Amino acid sequence: MRTGRLLGAGRTADVYELHADEGESGPHGHGGLDAETEAGAPEGAADSDGADRHTGRTGRIEPAGRTEPAGRTEPAGRTEPAGRTERAGRVGGGGAWVLRRYRDGWGDAAAEAEVMEYVRGHGYPVPRVHSASRSEMVLRRLSGPTLLEACAAGQVTPAEVGATLAQLLRTLHTVPPRRRPGARVLHLDLHPENVLLTPHGPQVIDWSNAEEGPPGLDWAVSAMILAQVAVDPTDTRAPMAHATLTSLLAHRPDHTMTHHHLTEASHRRASNPTMSPREIELLAKAEELIRDAPEKAAGL
């Protein structure tokens, strides 16, 4: 297995295309999890706060609420289209694969891969993981823009982006917990750059923050991420983020996100070492924006 060109660099990880050496049948050397033997589920890059791409830009756009649900299963034997400017290496199983490599001791790719394969086994739309170690993960390459890219290009509206995020959160929270009875699997970084619109529906990436807990915390973290952008007067994406946040909050189930969840989400964002001082300064205004949201704000 050879590592090809760098596809994207986020704040904590880099993503590379993979090529099989002559005679190789798959991406070896990244042991820990071999998803090719796992139960089937939908096939599915942004770092939590950066551009961590492993996707192409081809394919039709099908956000939630249009023609296909998030959890649609990919037809057997079908593979993703070519990537942005160059076809990814065909490494084992007839598919295109990429390597995600954490830098400087960040992350736990093996633990992240286990969560991804667990939710995938319950029908949730995530990329197929081939193998993983402590710092590296080999996973299926996807084709399609992020929700943010599609919205910026006018292919979907902010209202549709918010509705898609809401659908993905609701669907995720129907997955039974792995270890904690009464809890749910949480993504804790679900925002428009971590959802790819593939030809087979939205796919969720970057599960490095995933854990089990109350669904309201997941909604609160997604809302805080959007609100931080929405209250930043220097960010050209602010109007888009504000409209997306309004849609997300309008679609959340009643009494899901409490005052406690929002406070905890703000604390977690402030404690995130990848946050800049400027981003941390915006947290108070972001929290205020969410509390003042006209829809379903009584519980906050």
Q: What's the CATH number where 171 sits?
A: 3.90.1200
The tokens describing 257, both together, are: 């996100």
Choose between 240 and 23: higher pLDDT: 240
**End of a domain among 142, 157, 188?**
142
pLDDT at 58 (0 to 100) = 34
Same domain, 56 and 135: yes
Chain mean pLDDT for the chain: 79
Give yes or no for residue 34 having a pLDDT over 70: no
Same domain, 38 and 82: yes
Alpha carbon distance 204, 142 (integer Å): 11
Give yes or no for residue 70 having a pLDDT over 60: no
pLDDT at 299 (0 to 100) = 52
Same domain, 238 and 217: yes
Give yes or no for residue 91 having a pLDDT over 70: no
Q: Is residue 297 part of a domain?
A: no
Give yes or no for residue 199 having a pLDDT over 60: yes
129-151 pLDDT, tens digit per residue, is: 999 999 999 999 999 999 999 99
* Helix, strand, coil content of the chain in percent (nearest 5): 30, 20, 50
Same domain, 42 and 113: yes
Q: Using the structure block, give the residue that is written with the tokens 């993504």.
A: 187
Count structural domains, the chain: 2
Range of the domain at 22: 2-142
Same domain, 236 and 273: yes
pLDDT at 13 (0 to 100) = 86
Q: Is residue 296 part of a domain?
A: no
For 8-14, what is the mean pLDDT? 80
97-133 pLDDT, tens digit per residue, is: 999 999 887 889 999 999 999 999 999 999 999 999 9
Q: Is residue 72 part of a domain?
A: yes
Instruction: Give how far Cα 270 sits from Cα of 104, 258, 276, Å.
Output: 21, 19, 9
